[in-house]
Amino acid sequence: MTTAYTAIAQRRAVITRHAGSVRDIQCVYCIQSATGENLTEAAQIADRWKGYCEDLYCDEEAKGIEREYWEKEPPPLRSEVARAIRQTASRKATGPDEVPAELFKAGGDTVLDRMHRICVAIWETGEWP
């Protein structure tokens, strides 16, 4: 027998000795609520995790205070839009707009300027034009 096979057999023997058969091991779905009671229902467990994560990531000083929007990043540069068009794969299936990538690439500066204006409009308003 190889060393790896022997190691696996030894691990399996230890598991079997402590837990019976590996097939007999089952997951236990139970967590404690914030008050210490056991929760076993899936919906209760999900709600507890939601509350736990909210408490974990909530800043105590900011509770009850409406958060101000962070300063926006600058809109995409023309060169970034040009690079995105250049890096788009050719000879691929069109998207839902049915416009092939080759059309954007062949459009030159006219298409690049229009795409840049569209990207900036989306960036500033957060809505599709």
CA 119 – CA 112 distance, rounded (Å):
10
| Token output for 39 | 């929760």
Q: For residue 32, what are the domain limits?
A: 25-60
Find out whether 29 and 44 touch, Cβ atoms under 8 Å: no
Same domain, yes or no, for 84 and 112?
Answer: yes
Identify whether 92 is part of a domain: yes
pLDDT at residue 21, rounded to an integer? 52
Same domain, yes or no, for 56 and 82?
Answer: no
For residue range 77-122, list pLDDT tens digits in order: 999 999 999 999 888 888 888 889 999 999 999 999 999 999 999 9
Q: How many domains does the chain have?
A: 2
